Amino acid sequence: MNSTVKTDQGHRAEEGIWIFIFADMCMFGIFFITFMYERLKSPALYIESQLQLNQALGMINTLVLLISSWFVVLATRALHRGRPKYSSLFLGLAFFCGAVFVVNKVIEYSEKIEQGISILTNDFFMFYYVLTGIHLAHVLGGMVVLFVLMRKLKNSSFQKTGMSTVEGGAIYWHMVDLLWILIFPLIYFLR
């Protein structure tokens, strides 16, 4: 390899994506703050309900999303270094991780429903279903984004000019990961 290879600076995603990301995070921020405020009203109920959550599945999901974010980082790096096939491969692996997350969530929700716990059971579980549910919708959206990027990468002109689009999609996926990194301890761990 050429010793003057560029650093991981990459190309910037356009500013509009960041506006979208920040707005989305502000919405989740409001969710978090609302959750914490409501929790202070009936802490015993929240703690007792939290005990019924499947921490193991939550942990696995956290690790899975972190690994998927890592794959996305490697994908943008690969594209920047002119290796679009590897970029596609890493995006595919990230997509697969996303699928694992979704399957886990379905298992987790099914388990809860079988135990008779629904969104109406109490305030804690309302937040549980709503927060993780809206996050899940973001994961599904992110998987669509990853898929579209993988398809676009088959086009040789996009391979040269599409860096900023790929960066944009990558940043969205990192946000989805970041949100789960905060949602998970908030709901599953904090007493």
- By the criterion CB under 8 A, which residues form the site for another protein? 1, 8-10, 12, 14-20, 22-27, 29-34, 36-40, 43, 55, 59, 62-63, 66-67, 69-70, 72-74, 77-78, 81, 83, 86, 119-120, 123, 126, 130, 134, 137, 167, 170-171, 174-175, 177-178, 181-182, 185-186, 189-191
The residue (of 107 and 130) whose beta carbon lies closer to another protein is 130
The span from the CA of 38 to the CA of 186, in Å, is 13
Amino acid symbol at 52: Q
The residue (of 81 and 152) whose beta carbon lies closer to another protein is 81
Shortest separation between residue 96's beta carbon and another protein, angstroms: 17
The span from the CA of 32 to the CA of 38, in Å, is 10
Is residue 61 within 8 Å of residue 104, measured between CB atoms? yes
The residue (of 31 and 95) whose beta carbon lies closer to another protein is 31
Sign for the pseudo-dihedral over CA of 38, 32, 61, 98: positive
The span from the CA of 8 to the CA of 27, in Å, is 30
Shortest separation between residue 88's beta carbon and another protein, angstroms: 13
